[in-house]
């Protein structure tokens, strides 16, 4: 078989049409002969390397995708051998590899990636770290996978890794996260932005709105949208404001307009601002979408594991949770806060799929945290 593959690969030199080769590869894939595909891909890369022409690169990517998405632990090995975690159009190939593997392979078939002394030793610790939380996001019982548990317990790399802060099961707050769908030649996803679901608040209320003092900066607020700022038409605004008296939840709309925010600077009328009372779960959904797949094309994504971490970090800052608080404490703190979403007909917002605004009131109703972000790839 090796000689035949070498001969076929040599015959591809200078060729622009490879339809017959694609048919041959498909025949082997239908027979579940992924070893042939993996050997063909390895020979193709060895023969033409990174300087491969368009058709050669197309064949290699096709092979890599086919073996990665074919269930079975042997195919996990084929995918890693072909460089799934190192050769990618993404600027974060390890994170992307973890997302694709978790989407198409079972935890049992991924178990050898975490086990020492296997053919998967070439897998990086960073891939293992990302893989844990890509599986968690898909509600896989990773905490019951002995190989993963043992690796995490014994790995110095994991002990100091930022992802180790995250819980190994989805919290009720996270619900069922919306994740991209990976397929041969591309990826499909919903943006997940916009005004969060909730009850719309009135724009005018009787009584006065407590004066607001200060505009403190907490950089953790913007963790989920760090990549949006300065990209294309991307803008981010955040701040923490304090009042001397508690804010009536029904007065959040006029209170918001009193904060002198840049995102509301050219608001023509109060009715051009929409504010909804929402939930921390809705806020997490927006923050996770913003962090994992926002801020540019797929090559700029943070993907699921780091997107999950960034969403929690912004949620913690919006809630006023203590620095370094465990996730259960952050979730409890978030449940005690009042959560609001907003958008506005102003020039600051692009009013496209990548717009959102969030505001929180802490339990004493005197600390107001605001995060607004917009990004648009158009002109």
Q: What is the CATH number of the domain that holds 329?
A: 3.40.1000
Residue range 161-187, pLDDT digits in tens: 999 999 999 999 999 999 988 887 677
Place of tokens 């042997």: 74
Tokens of 259: 């904060």
In this structure, what DSSP letter does residue 187 have?
E
Greater model confidence, 283 or 205: 283
Domain boundary among 22, 37, 70: 70
With beta carbons less than 8 A apart as the criterion, state whether 291 and 177 touch. Answer: no
When pLDDT is averaged across residues 130-141 and rounded to a whole number, the result is 97
Residue 292 three-state SS: helix
3-class SS of residue 360: strand
pLDDT mean over 239-260: 91
Judge whether residue 286 has pLDDT over 90.
Answer: yes
pLDDT at 135 over 90: yes
- Compute the average pLDDT of residues 313-320: 97
Question: Of 15, 37, 70, which residue sits at a domain end?
Answer: 70
- Domain hosting 12: range is 1-70
Q: Rounded to whole angstroms, how far apart are CA atoms 226 and 332?
A: 25
- Integer angstrom CA distances of residue 53 from 46, 49, 88, 118, 290: 14, 10, 16, 34, 35
Burial of 154 (0-12, 13-18, 19+ CB in 10 A): exposed
Residue 332 lies in a domain: yes
Neighbour-count burial for 278-312, b at 16+ CB within 10 Å, e otherwise: bbbbbbbbbbbbbbbbbbbebeebbbbbbbbbbbb
Structural tokens at position 12:
């591809």
Provide the percentage of residues in the chain whose pLDDT is more than 90.
57
Residue 115: inside a domain: no
353 and 211 housed in the same domain: yes
Question: In this predicted structure, what is the pLDDT of residue 182?
Answer: 86
**What percent of the chain shows pLDDT beyond 70?**
92
Two tokens, residue 223 = 């963790």
Number of structural domains in the chain: 2
Q: Give the C-alpha distances (Å, rounded to integers) separating 163 from 158, 159, 318.
A: 8, 9, 20
Q: How far apart are CA 331 and CA 339, in angstroms?
A: 13
Closest Cα to residue 118, out of 143, 84, 158, 150? 150
Q: What are the pLDDT digits (tens) for 51-110?
A: 556 778 888 889 999 999 999 999 999 999 998 888 766 678 999 999 999 999 999 999
Is 310 contained in some domain?
A: yes
Give the span between the Cα atoms of 316 and 331, in whole angstroms: 8
Would you say residue 326 lies in a domain?
yes
The answer on 208 and 65 residing in a single domain is no
109 domain-assigned: no
**Shared-domain flag, residues 220 and 365:** yes
Final residue before a domain boundary, out of 20, 43, 70: 70
Residue 18: per-residue pLDDT: 81
Per-residue three-class SS string for 266-334: CCCCHHHEEEEEECHHHHHHHHHHHHHHCCCCHHHCCHHHHHHHHHHHHHHHHHCCCCCCCHHHHHHHH
Q: Give the H or E element holding residue 51.
A: none
Q: Does 190 fall in a domain?
A: no
In a domain? residue 131:
no
Give yes or no: residues 63 and 206 share one domain: no
The secondary structure of 133-160 as a DSSP string is: HHHHHTT--GGG-HHHHHHHHH-HHHHT
**Which pLDDT does position 13 carry in this prediction?**
77
| The predicted structure's pLDDT at residue 1 | 67
Q: What pLDDT, on the 0 to 100 scale, is given for residue 309? A: 98
Reported as a pLDDT band with limits 50, 70 and 90, residue 15 is: confident
Residue 85 maps to a domain: no
């Amino acid at each position: 078989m090796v000689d035949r593959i070498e001969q076929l690969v040599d015959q591809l030199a200078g060729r622009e049409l490879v339809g017959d080769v694609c048919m041959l590869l498909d025949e082997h894939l239908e027979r579940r002969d992924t070893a042939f595909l993996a050997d063909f891909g390895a020979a193709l890369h060895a023969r033409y390397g990174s300087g491969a022409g368009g058709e050669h690169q197309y064949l290699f990517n096709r092979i890599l995708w086919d073996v990665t998405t074919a269930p079975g632990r042997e195919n996990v090995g084929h995918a890693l051998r072909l460089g799934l975690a190192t050769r990618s159009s993404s600027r974060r190939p390890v994170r992307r590899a973890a997302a694709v593997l978790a989407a198409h392979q079972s935890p049992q078939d991924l178990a050898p990636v975490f086990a020492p002394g296997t053919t998967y030793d070439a897998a990086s610790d960073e891939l293992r770290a990302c893989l844990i939380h890509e599986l968690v996001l898909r509600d896989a019982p990773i905490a019951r996978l002995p190989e993963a548990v043992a690796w995490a317990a014994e790995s110095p790399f994991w002990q100091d890794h930022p992802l180790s802060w995250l819980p190994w099961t989805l919290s009720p707050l996270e619900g069922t996260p919306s994740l991209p769908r990976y397929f041969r030649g591309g990826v499909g996803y919903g943006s997940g932005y916009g005004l969060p679901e909730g009850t719309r608040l009135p724009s005018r209320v009787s009584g006065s709105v407590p004066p607001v003092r200060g505009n403190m900066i907490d950089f953790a607020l913007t963790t989920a949208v760090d990549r949006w700022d300065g990209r294309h038409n991307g803008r981010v605004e955040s701040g923490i404001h304090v009042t001397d008296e508690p804010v009536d939840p029904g007065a959040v709309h006029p209170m918001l307009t009193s904060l002198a925010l840049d995102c509301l600077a050219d608001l023509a009328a109060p009715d051009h601002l929409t504010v909804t009372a929402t939930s921390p779960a809705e806020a997490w959904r927006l923050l996770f979408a913003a962090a994992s797949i926002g801020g540019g094309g797929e090559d700029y994504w943070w993907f699921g594991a780091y997107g999950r971490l960034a969403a929690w970090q912004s949620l913690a800052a919006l809630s006023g949770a203590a620095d370094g608080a465990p996730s259960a404490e952050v979730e409890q703190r978030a449940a005690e806060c009042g959560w609001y979403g907003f958008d506005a007909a102003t020039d600051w917002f692009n009013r496209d799929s990548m717009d959102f605004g969030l505001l929180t009131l802490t339990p004493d109703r005197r600390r107001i945290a605001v995060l607004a972000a917009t990004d648009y790839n158009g002109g």
